[in-house]
Structure 1
Amino acid sequence: MRIKHRSWMLKILKVLRKHFGKINWEFEDPFKLLIATILSQHTSDKNSLKAFESLEEKIGVEPEKLANRNTGEIAKAIKSAGLWKIKAKRIKEVSKIVLKDFSGDLSEVLSQPLEEARKTLLKLPGVGEKTADVLLVFSGGMPVFPVDTHLFTVARRLGISTSKNYESVKKAYEKLIPPTMRGEAHILLLTLGKEYCIARKPKCWKCPIKKLCPYPEKTMV
């Protein structure tokens, strides 16, 4: 695998920004983002958004409201998300912990140094490495790059990393992406993975970065 340089990645991000449009992202409410990320696990964006909106409408996405509802009510509200019984249990558990240990406000956690905040988040039910990093960058404004299945595929095809280890792939991306650009870069490369660099049938022939991509098995029809 040839060594990748930051200048190459910056060219890719420039092309993607022009293609997808400027990404305007703000630091989101950490609890709402946490619940949205739990709902997004192992399901489509469409179904997770539908589940989040249903939960907001029927119960309210607030620690106190969710902690005081029974799991069945939460499950019914998020049925479109897939694995809804498991997710309902996690949502209730995490709501109770956030309410009890952090007075319903995760901002306290995100004011901690990065590694300390990450360790605290990883102790919460339903929070794995990706979910923790999503909160750190999009609610905490910290310089991390979350990696999901789409970004593993993009990393492999761009020659960034062939590892299946989360931390290895994350570090490979972070080596190429300046700290202040990691939130925007995550969204741009994730969108690339969802729309063009699809795992089974990549749309290489119309990919906006095909000239910058070293993938040897491009589908050009």
Structure 2
Amino acid sequence: MKKDDIFEFYRRLAEANPAPETELAYGNVFQLLVAVTCSAQSTDVGVNKATKALFEQVKTPGEMVALGLNGLKSHIKTIGLYNNKAKNVIALSEILVRDYGGEVPADRDALTTLPGVGRKTANVVMNCAFGAETFAVDTHIFRVGNRTGLAPGKNVDAVERALDKKTPHPFRVGAHHWLILHGRYVCKARTPECWRCPVADLCRFKPKTLDPASAEAKAAKAKKSSRVKAKRAKAKVGR
């Protein structure tokens, strides 16, 4: 995707959603860190349901440590891999209390040393909590980057580097949110909804998918054509 097209790509997404935010529910930076840590291989909706009561009770690392492993498990047992996630959350809470005065460090390298916190999680926290220009590449952003031609890459690290290099100001802080929401609701994995995509003309994905009505009409036309051909072939054989 060319430089001017990239700017226009983001401009349109920003026009449609001027103030994008994560769909994870949280009340402070620590809760955000917990929510993102719990979100691996789980939906934001599922995580929000699991953490709603938890976050009413637990607001600090110290309170999480006091809740304990079994107490945490009872809250998040509805999400995938909850046993490992609970162990990591308790462990990182203990470290935050011991080494950081109960505060979440505003440093990506420090965040990635915490149990269960990889680069993607750290990027989300840095972006959402501290306004850093980071690009947390999940499956949605990886797909959008490659499918559209915005930031092609063979792996998430390559796509992150491409986004960091190509994303212009003033879109760098909001880029992560625009791309993940676009991938989640429009540029879907199985059937991208190209007919309602605001950046379809800038995207290199082909062929563009039709709206349901047009797709149904096209399928009916193809089916009718197939029947006509079969009928003609049958008549030819019978001569």
Q: Would the TM-score normalized by the shorter structure come out above 0.5? A: yes
Matched, 1:128 2:126: no
Structure 1 CA distance for aligned equivalents of residues 132 and 182 of structure 2: 23
Cα deviation digits, residues 25-69 of structure 1 (max 9, x gap): 59x833121111012111111111111212113x31310011122
- 1:83 counterpart residue number: 81
- Where in structure 1 do 4 or more consecutive aligned residues deviate above 3 Å? none
Q: For residue 38 of structure 2, give the secondary structure of its aligned residue in structure 1.
A: helix
| Matched letter for residue 143 of structure 1 | E
- 2:48 counterpart residue number: 49
Structure 2 CA distance for aligned equivalents of residues 209 and 122 of structure 1: 34
What is the CA distance between 1:24 and its match in structure 2?
5.4
Structure 1 CA distance for aligned equivalents of residues 35 and 170 of structure 2: 24
**1:185 alignment partner, one of 163, 167, 175:** 175
| Matched letter for residue 16 of structure 1 | L
Q: For residue 46 of structure 1, give the secondary structure of its aligned residue in structure 2.
A: helix
- 2:19 counterpart residue number: 23
Structure 2 CA distance for aligned equivalents of residues 16 and 162 of structure 1: 19
Cα deviation digits, residues 130-172 of structure 1 (max 9, x gap): 0111122222222222111100000111113442322211111
Structure 2 CA distance for aligned equivalents of residues 188 and 85 of structure 1: 31
2:6/2:150 contact within 8 Å kept: no
What is the CA distance between 1:183 and its match in structure 2?
2.4
Structure 2 CA distance for aligned equivalents of residues 14 and 160 of structure 1: 13
Given the superposition, is the C-alpha separation of residues 197 and 25 from structure 1 closer, same or farther in structure 2, using an over 3 Å criterion?
A: closer
Structure 2 CA distance for aligned equivalents of residues 33 and 205 of structure 1: 35
**2:71 alignment partner, one of 61, 70, 73:** 73
Matched, 1:8 2:8: no
Cα deviation digits, residues 157-202 of structure 1 (max 9, x gap): 1113442322211111122213552221211111100001111221
| Matched letter for residue 50 of structure 1 | K
2:151/2:166 contact within 8 Å kept: no
Q: For residue 93 of structure 2, give the secondary structure of its aligned residue in structure 1.
A: helix
> Which stretch shows the higher mean deviation, 158-167 or 143-152?
158-167
| Matched letter for residue 5 of structure 2 | W
Instruction: List gaps (5 residues or longer) in structure 1.
Output: 111-116
- 2:31 counterpart residue number: 32
Given the superposition, is the C-alpha separation of residues 193 and 172 from structure 1 closer, same or farther in structure 2, using an over 3 Å criterion?
A: same
TM-score when normalising by structure 1: 0.86
1:122/1:128 contact within 8 Å kept: yes
Tell which structure's C-alpha radius of gyration is larger.
Answer: 2
Structure 2 CA distance for aligned equivalents of residues 137 and 55 of structure 1: 23
Mapping of 1:28-177 within 5 angstroms?
29-57=28-56, 59-106=57-104, 109-110=105-106, 117-177=107-167
- 1:114 counterpart residue number: none
What is the CA distance between 1:102 and its match in structure 2?
0.2
RMSD (Å) for aligned C-alpha atoms = 1.9
Work out which structure has the larger RCO, using CA pairs closer than 8 Å and 6 or more positions apart in sequence: 1
